[in-house]
Structure 1
Amino acid sequence: MKKLRVFILIFILLNLFTACKNNTDLIRIAVIDTGINKEVLRKNTVLDGWNYVLRSDNTEDPDGHGTMVSSLIVGSKDGKIKGKSKKVNLIPLVCSGINEYGKEMKNTPSLAAQAIRDAIDKYNCKIINISSGVLEDIENLRAAVEYAEEKRVVVISSAGNDGNEEIYYPAGYDTVISVGSLDINGDIAEFSQKNNRVDVLVKGTDIKVIGNDGNMYRVDGTSFSCAYVTGEVANLLIDNPQLTTEELRQYLSNKY
């Protein structure tokens, strides 16, 4: 009987060790976007974040864009969207959406800069996914990106959907992985930015995503290409946690 109790105790301890190990293996990804509806995504993948528009912890997604992006990273609750990575948690940091007066607010460099710093210092994120940008190199945004590089945090940003050579920031910074889109034929998509700061081109047309209403949609855009790359970087860090941000950028540049 004593041997049986010892065996059960060892079994419990091994399971606790495995659970703790798996928990520490999870990579935290900040999604700087419109919020996330966690109810339609794979269970237990979305943690608490912050809404910089409402200045509250309400990170629900009235727009749907942030949820669509997130579904490509972690997958949907119903399994229709598989998601690129399984061992990650998402931190919604809302920098665009509807404010308390019902006015639509777009992401600003100051909000994005603060979200980047908070993702690192408050939420311990190793990856930051951004699907917006501005056409001007703003000092506080540049400083936030430099801080991320200093802390070995990977910033991945969509290149933009104007279809021209203009450079959006933060995608335009050297240390940020700038992601553009390919069409279904493998050519650069008509809408995708076409400048020398685009590091990676992956499929960004006719992409299946889950909206915040739980329905599946087909969408186009560099935001969704960016989400795919974010999931891939997460998998690389899970398997090779010693990789530096420079090594990750080099790997992706060589692959694509």
Structure 2
Amino acid sequence: MSKKFSALVVLAIMLTTFSMATTVVAYAQTGFDGRNTASAMYVWNDSDAETQWGIERIFNGVYDGYIPTADVDLAIVDTGIDLDHPDLMANIVWGYDAVRGRTADDGNGHGTHCAGIAGAIRNAMGVVGVYSNVDLYAIKVLGPSGSGTFTDIAEGVYAACKGPDGKEGTADDADVISMSLGGTSDSAELHNAIIHAYNMGIVIVAAAGNSGDGNPSTTEISYPAAYPEVIAVGATDMNDAIASFSNSGPYVEVAAPGVSIYSTYKGGIYKTLSGTSMACPHVAGLVALIIAVKGKMPVGTFSDTGTSTIRGYLHSTALDLGTSGWDASFGYGLIQASQLI
């Protein structure tokens, strides 16, 4: 029997505990292509951008700069994405359904929320993602309830490795995989898929988990975040404190905003949710932006400190919070994007 995973913050009890669940109706601008040329300035004029404290925090209020147009493919491995959401549809270039083999459309809302954090379009409406020109892959591995099997999740990772053409080693292989999901049991099947993607040079980012007890000396394990090939992301609040629910442990690598995060949701609307699920796509979007600005770099390892690898770049540019240096709650610190602008 396949073991079960649950998307972090998807379950109703977690939404009640960790989410404001505020619903906002989007402006009715359908079919708008928000992509920009290489000379466009990174000035976010989206109507609700002022509500996105997380984006502002990692960019430190620096909004002027060039938006790169390099093709960077970011796979959201989750509950799917709302394929018709006006703030996402122009960036969604491919979908894959590992659950039923039908559609990658989101029946839950969790994957759509994560996709918006990483890559919502800059289009004078709604919200904007960390990298608004990214190519999004909607890879559904969790059903409408927000749960799924190791087998389906591993299949989704392998699908991301191949991209739309179904072949590995071509230009449309995913560059980044974002996984806002987790479970407490290890899985050789999933780990093998993660290792395969890592060996291909794909950057894998995962939520650290929402079972934290507020004590950094205790360890709460979540997979795939705990795998050494994965960048595990903890969640911070508006005061740069670690979120009360955020897992701690020796595998936590960096932290990102994850409390009261406003983003896209299924049905063309917007919601505010909390969880390490929301922190994860902030990092995945930043990784995509790093690749767009600096080009492909080696993924690197947990211990890297220089800027010659993706992981080293994240570590060396992070804002050190908590105990000086690496610690079990913040990892190397709060991610920072302003150096790229």
What is the correspondence of 1:186-201 to structure 2 with a 5 Å cutoff? 186-201=240-255
1:53 paired to 2:99: yes
CA contact (8 A) 1:158 1:171 kept: yes
CA contact (8 A) 1:27 1:89 kept: yes
1:225 paired to 2:279: yes
TM superposition shift of 1:122: 3.5
1:141 corresponds in structure 2 to: 190
1:150 paired to 2:199: yes
TM superposition shift of 1:78: 5.9
TM superposition shift of 1:67: 0.6
- Name the SS for the 2:222 alignment partner: coil
1:75 paired to 2:120: yes
TM superposition shift of 1:60: 1.1
CA contact (8 A) 2:68 2:293 kept: no
- What residue identity is the alignment partner of 2:260? D
Q: Which has the higher contact order (CA 8 A, sep 6+)?
A: 2
Bigger radius of gyration, 1 or 2?
Answer: 1
Of 149, 166, 173, which aligns to 1:108? 149
Instruction: Could you tell me which runs of 5 or more consecutive residues in structure 1 were left unpaired when the two chains were aligned.
Output: 1-17, 99-103
What is the correspondence of 1:1-256 to structure 2 with a 5 Å cutoff? 25-40=70-85, 41-56=87-102, 58-75=103-120, 79-98=125-144, 104=145, 106-123=147-164, 124-164=173-213, 165-246=219-300, 247-254=309-316, 255=318, 256=333
Percent same amino acid at aligned positions?
28
TM superposition shift of 1:248: 0.9
TM superposition shift of 1:112: 1.3
Runs of 4+ with >3 A deviation = none
Matches of 2:124 and 2:138, distance apart in 1: 21
TM superposition shift of 1:200: 0.8
Matches of 1:106 and 1:233, distance apart in 2: 26
TM superposition shift of 1:199: 0.5
- What is the TM-score with the length of structure 1 in the denominator? 0.84
Distance 1:85 1:23, change over 3 A: closer
TM superposition shift of 1:132: 0.7
CA contact (8 A) 2:202 2:299 kept: yes
Matches of 1:141 and 1:129, distance apart in 2: 14
CA contact (8 A) 2:96 2:159 kept: no
- What residue identity is the alignment partner of 1:248? I
- What residue identity is the alignment partner of 1:135? T
Instruction: Could you tell me which runs of 5 or more consecutive residues in structure 2 were left unpaired when the two chains were aligned.
Output: 1-37, 39-66, 165-172, 214-218, 301-308, 319-332, 334-341
Matches of 1:117 and 1:69, distance apart in 2: 20
Which of the two has greater helix per residue?
Answer: 1
CA contact (8 A) 2:108 2:146 kept: no
CA contact (8 A) 2:73 2:174 kept: yes
Q: CA RMSD in A?
A: 2.1
How many pairs does the alignment contain?
230
Distance 1:219 1:179, change over 3 A: same
